[in-house]
Amino acid sequence: MEDQTDQTPFKEAKDALLRKRGEILSHTTGTKPLESSLDVNSRQGDLADQASGSNEVHIALKLKQTDAKILAAIEEALYRMEKGTYGICRDCGEAIAPARLNAIPWTRVCITCKEKQSA
């Protein structure tokens, strides 16, 4: 009986991870290639238009980089689930609080270690 209870939070976390992975993959494949955004910058326009176009490309690139990092963290979290180490802080080895796992199911560290990293 305990095993089923212990697996319930991880089942929900796994579902959340798979859902987020699907969102990222569908968003990534559903957008136009970055190169087509670069064509906007080659058009004639005043400096404000050119700067705006350049800024849009920069933002799109940053979003793709962020999505790639989250996707890698999701894959790692799914692997940790298979290994049986999901929910254990990578830095201190303590259990990660369920509230943190619910908020960020791909997290690798507990809130205490995250705060130390940020300081």
Q: Which domain holds residue 43?
A: 2-85
Mean pLDDT, residues 92-106: 95
Q: Is residue 19 part of a domain?
A: yes
Say if CB 105 and CB 80 are below 8 A apart: no
Question: Who contacts 76 (Cβ-Cβ below 8 Å, separation ≥6)?
Answer: 106, 108
Token pair in block for residue 53: 């176009």
Q: 8 falls in which pLDDT band (50, 70, 90)?
A: low
Evaluate whether residue 61 is within a structural domain: yes
pLDDT, mean of residues 44-62: 77
Number of structural domains, the chain?
1
Average pLDDT over residues 96-113: 95
Domain-embedded: residue 33? yes
What are the φ/ψ torsions at residue 92 (nearest 5 degrees)? Answer: -105, -15
Of 9, 29, 33, 15, the residue nearest 97 (C-alpha): 9
Q: Evaluate whether residue 111 is within a structural domain.
A: no
Q: Does position 21 have pLDDT exceeding 90, yes or no?
A: yes
Which residues 6+ apart lie within 8 Å of 114 measured at CB?
A: 107
Q: Is residue 102 one of the residues assigned to a domain?
A: no
Q: Is residue 81 included in any domain, yes or no?
A: yes
Can you tell me whether residue 108 is helix, strand or coil? coil
Residue 117 lies inside a defined structural domain of this protein: no
Asked if residue 18 belongs to a domain, the reply is yes
